[in-house]
Amino acid sequence: MKAQILRTLTIALLALPLSAWALEAPPSAQDPEIEARMLRLSEELRCVVCQNETLAGSRAELAEDLRQEIRDQMKTGKSDPEVIEYLTARYGDFVLYRPPLKPLTWLLWFGPLLFIALAGAAWYATLRRRRRAEAPAVAEDKLREAARLLEAENGGKDKP
């Protein structure tokens, strides 16, 4: 009841063209700076209990606990790499959506470079062959031949 009255009153007050009276909503985080850092970091971390969600996006209870843990760690002055180290010491590399570069992930990180090199090589090799390919007249002969065969098979019945 009290809240109701208060609400009505507030709405009535706000209806007045006195914007200075309106309340500026405070950030919901206590420390917006740490919050922003925490969110940026947890975008790249896996929520370990969820199927496949980031720590930032998950609504699981443990995810909230871990976000709190990250905030606490940051408040004690730890840098981002130190917080990551804290988490990987407990949960392993599994929590990192950006796998660290080490022998185990060389293929993962350098694989795309390898692919682009292979792509380039395939392109170059094809072009070399193509430039030396038989005279186009021959190819055209073949095309004509193919067309003729098709024609023969259809008995020409589909001609317009």
Partner 1 sequence: MKRWLPLVVFLVLVGFFAKGLFLNPREVPSPYIGKPAPAFSLPLVGDPARSFSPADMKGQVWLLNVWAPWCVSCRHEHGFLMQLEQARVLPVVGLNWKDKEREAAALLARTGDPYLAVPDDVDGRVGIDYGVTGTPETFLIDRDGIVRLKHIGPIDGTVWQDKFVPKLKELGA
Partner 2 sequence: MIPELGHFALIVALVLAVVQGTLPLVGAHRGHAAWMAVARPAAQGQFVFTAIAFACLAWSFLVNDFSVVNVARNSFSRLPEVYRITATWGSHEGSLLLWVLMLAFWTMAVSIFSRRLPEDMVARVIGVMGLVSVGFLAFLLTTSNPFLRMVPPAAEGSDMNPLLQDWGMIIHPPMLYMGYVGFAVAFAFAIAALLSGKLDAAWARWSRPWTTVAWAFLTLGIVLGSWWAYRELGWGGWWFWDPTENASFMPWIAGTALMHSLAVTEKRGAFKAWTVLLALTAFSLSLLGTFLVRSGVLSSVHAFATDPARGAFILGFLAVVIGASLALYAWRAPKMITGGQFTWFSREALLLANNVMLLAALGAVLLGTLYPLFIDALGMGKISVGAPYFNAVFVPLMAPVLFLMGVGPLARWKQASLPDMVARLKWALAVALATGLLLPLTLDGFNAWAALGFFLAAWIALAVFEAFRDRLRHGQGRLPARLAALPRGFWGMQLAHFGLAVGIAGITVVANYETDRDVRMEVGSHTQLAGYTFTFRGTTDREGPNYHAARATIEVSRNGRQLFTLHPEKRIYNASGMAMTEASLHPNIFRDVYVALGEPLDEANDVWAVRVYHKPLINWLWLGALFLVVGGFLAASDRRYRLATARAGAEPGMAGKALGAQA
Is residue 128 near partner 1 by the rule CB under 8 A? Answer: no
Residue 101 touching partner 2 (CB under 8 A): no
Could you report how far apart the first and last alpha carbons of the chain are, in Å?
84
The set of residues, in sequence order, having a beta carbon less than 8 Å from that of 47 and lying 6+ positions away, is: 53, 54, 55, 57, 58, 60, 62, 63, 66
Give the three-state DSSP class for 40: helix
Distance CA 82, CA 86 (A): 6
Subset of 58-117 contacting partner 1 (CB under 8 A): 61-62, 65-66, 69, 88-92, 94
Distance CA 52, CA 64 (A): 16
- For position 68 contacting partner 2 by CB under 8 A, the verdict is no
Structure letter (DSSP) for residue 23: P
| Among partner 1, partner 2, none, residue 90 binds (CB under 5-8 Å by kind) | partner 1
Residue 48 touches partner 1, criterion: CB under 8 A = yes
Q: 75 contacts which partner out of partner 2, partner 1, none, CB within 5 to 8 A by kind? A: none
Does 107 participate in binding partner 2 (rule CB under 8 A)? yes
Contact pick of 13, 33, 90, 106 for partner 2 (by CB under 8 A): 13
Enumerate binding residues for partner 1 (CB under 8 A): 48-49, 51, 61-62, 65-66, 69, 88-92, 94
